[in-house]
Amino acid sequence: MTGVLSGCGLGGGSGEVTLKLVAADYGDSAANSSKKYWADLVDAYEARHPDVHVEVSVYSWTEVDRKVRRMVDAGEAPDMAQIGAYADYAAEDRLYRAGDVLSIPVQADFVPQLAQAGEVDGVQYGMPFAASTRLLFYNKTLFGKAGLKPPTTWAELAADAAALEDDGVTYPYALPLGPEEAQAETLQWLLSGGGGYTSTVGGYGLDAAENIETFTWLKDELVGKGLTGPVAPGKLNRAAAFAAFADGRVGMLNGHPSLMKMAQKKGVKFGMVPMPGKDGAARNALGVADWMAAFKQNGHGEQIGDFLDFVYSEKNVLTFSREYDLLPVTTSASSAMSASAGDQDLKPFLDELPLAELYPVGRTSWATVSAALKKRIGTAVQPGESPALVLGELQTRAMTADTSTSG
């Protein structure tokens, strides 16, 4: 679904500038589409800046990155794009540095960990726009019926899943490794096993021993024992898994804050705990950030900066975060949310953020590696497949992508 939001009176004064922004849709229905958020924000901005007009095109997450790539390749880059990865455009010298457009107070207000994740070779190009962490959600009603406690280790998670399966739960543990967001579920599990996407020397380490052990355990102890539900993990997308949880058909799954509202709407009683690790609580949680990038092609750096200073005001960051149950990307808004009685349901996710590990978005190859993970990682837990072989193939692809994008 595509929508364009634009200001009125775009005709002709010599001092007028029209900025084009491509944004992702965070809503799950027409009622809460991001089109409404941007329409309200643009109206407020244009009322104060009559010579600057902002046109916003909103696309679903399944197509927004591809749309922007096509626009850029066609020589029609937007002024701003709110997308999932930025480093490849930075490597192509298409982006303004954050410091070239943002005022010093606004740039300094970003949560430090997120600002650092927006850097390529020590220079910030990616401006964090939204953030989330993950917790293990569990259905309290199903757990109570089976006499279970939330798990703190892999072994406990598998035992709980087996008990839920005995009770006829459709998805004892929902494992969404489908192409929508397989890279998130994958990293959450790799972190819980002491691994991750990168090695200690800075390159990719997808086929590290810890990662192979994690996926071998998933294949043997969950998928192979029929504890992940009727849909093969490689074909189960996050949206479908969340919907099934909200319908009361899932015992456990990794979720971000928006799942709370979905479950509450359907009357599902749920609890949230840190992701279990191999031998105890995982040391690191998964953190995810989406990015705003400012393109140089149209030469509107001054106007882009002024508009983004407005976008990143405490009020506007809080409005967006509360509408979509996401974590603020600025320190000021995070502090306000932590102190607000009305935002306490998000506090467990805020508490995870300082220890969260994000995708290696600063690597110019990440967009390519992420796409390969989404397409292939689900097969690692299929019957007859070798997790070591699949992770080895992905590591080879990652190294190839790293070489080609840095060369």
Judgement on whether residues 114 and 173 belong to the same structural domain of the protein = no
Give the Cα separation of 21 and 78 in Å (integer).
6
Domain end position, chosen among 340, 357, 374: 357
Q: Does residue 1 form part of some domain? A: no
Phi and psi (nearest 5°) for 192?
A: -65, -20
> How many separate domains does the chain show?
2
Cα 171 from Cα 148, distance rounded (Å): 16
371-395 confidence digits (pLDDT tens) = 999 999 999 999 999 999 999 999 9
Is residue 237 located within the same domain as residue 372?
yes
Share of the chain above pLDDT 70, in %: 96
Residue 221 belongs to domain with CATH number? 3.40.190.10
Instruction: Give the tokens for residue 58.
Output: 């909103």
Amino acid at the residue 243: A
Q: Same domain for 29 and 99?
A: yes
**Gap between the Cα atoms of 257 and 155, Å rounded:** 26
Contact at 8 Å (CB) between 337 and 344? no
Q: Does any domain span residue 12?
A: no
Which ranges of 167-219 would DSSP assign to H, the alpha helix? 182-192, 209-217
pLDDT for res 285: 86
* 331 and 370 fall within a common domain: no
What number is the average pLDDT over the span 263-276?
96
Question: Are residue 308 and residue 272 in the same domain, yes or no?
Answer: no
Position 9 pLDDT exceeds 50: no
Residue whose C-alpha is closest to residue 377's, from 391, 392, 396, 367: 391
Strand partners, 22: 57, 81
Which alpha helices (H) appear in 118-153, and where do they start and end?
140-146
Residue 312 belongs to some domain of the structure: yes
Task: Report which of 254, 255, 250 is spatially closest to residue 168, judged by C-alpha positions.
Answer: 250
Domain that holds residue 177: 135-286+363-404
For residue 11, pLDDT over 70 is answered with no
pTM, rounded to two decimals: 0.83
User: Is residue 337 a part of any domain in this protein?
Assistant: yes
Q: Which range has the worst mean pLDDT, 6-10, 61-65, 294-298?
A: 6-10
Q: Is 389 helix (H, G, I), strand (E, B) or coil?
A: helix
- Mean pLDDT for the stretch of residues 204-219: 98
> Which of the four pLDDT bands, split at 50, 70 and 90, describes residue 405?
low
User: Are 314 and 297 within one domain?
Assistant: yes
Residue-wise pLDDT tens digits, 213-243: 999 999 999 999 999 999 999 999 999 999 9
Structure confidence at residue 131 as a pLDDT band (50, 70, 90): very high
- Residue 8 falls within a domain, yes or no? no
Supply the mean pLDDT for the chain: 92
406: confidence class by pLDDT, cuts 50, 70, 90: low
State the Cα angle at 225 between 222 and 230, rounded to 5°. Answer: 85
pLDDT at 49 over 80: yes
- Phi, psi (5° rounding) for residue 325? 50, 50
Most confident segment among 27-36, 147-156, 255-264, 352-361: 147-156
Which residues on adjacent β-strands are paired with residue 271? 138
pLDDT of residue 378: 97
| Measured distance CA(144)–CA(169) in Å, rounded | 13
Q: How many helices (H) and strands (E) are present in the chain, helices listed first?
A: 18, 12
Q: How many whole angstroms separate alpha carbon 173 and alpha carbon 176? A: 10
